[in-house]
Amino acid sequence: MNKDLITTRETNEEQFYQTLRSYVIDAQKKIYVAVNAAMVTAYWKIGHDIHEACGDNDRAQYGKQLIKKISAKLTAEFGKGFTPSNLWNMHQFYRVFPELSMINPQLSWTHYRSLMRVPDKEARDFYLEEAVKSEWSTRQLDRQINTMFYQRLLSSRDKESVAAEIEKSVPKPEYTKILHDPYVLEFLELEDNEHYYEGELEQALIDHFQKFF
């Protein structure tokens, strides 16, 4: 067979594969955003209600006992994602972001757990905005926080070089595999398994949307 014909056929097959692959990646991205939006909203509401129930003495004996009891019940029904420490994280989430309108559905719970570690509000708002605008992965966000990107950017004369360094140090992944995020797995009550059928994932999504909303 003519070599040029073989090359052309292989090229066409590769293009065909890349087109089909893009459909799968696009679907995974949409699922990931939908799951994270539902999960983050649910966790914010849980944090809000914990704050309302515990009042200002959230770490007093009553608050600790309440969280312990609620944790046991939620864990029995929904799995290990609702330990006392995780519930306190949700409470802290509400305290750091007291308005639901402050929550961006494009960021995951892992993003917000990192953002909550930033004590300075201006720096935290900057990281949140940049994470959304630049589509930072959680690894990229952690890298920027840990290397004090905000402070270095403010003091640098060469802001473009500072801003561009993240892609060199922590390249952005092409896409996020939804079933590799442990928080998503916990939220959907799924074991860490790379071989789920699409129907199982879709049913898990439907079940959790019904439970929380």
pLDDT of residue 168: 58
Longest dimension (CA), the chain: 81
Across the range 177-194, mean pLDDT stands at: 63
Question: With contact defined as beta carbons under 8 Å apart, do 116 and 187 qualify?
Answer: no
Highest mean pLDDT among 20-29, 122-131, 166-175, 177-186: 122-131
199, pLDDT greater than 70:
no
| Average per-residue pLDDT for the chain | 79
CA dihedral 125, 122, 88, 138 (to 10 degrees): 40
In whole angstroms, what is the distance from residue 31 CA to residue 202 CA? 9
212 or 2: which carries more pLDDT confidence?
Answer: 2
In whole angstroms, what is the distance from residue 180 CA to residue 196 CA? 12
Domain boundaries, the chain: 47-103, 108-173, 177-213
Phi, psi angles (nearest 5°) of residue 60: -70, 175
Q: Residue 123: what residue type?
A: A
Across the range 188-200, mean pLDDT stands at: 53
86-110 tens-digit pLDDT: 999 999 999 999 999 999 988 999 9
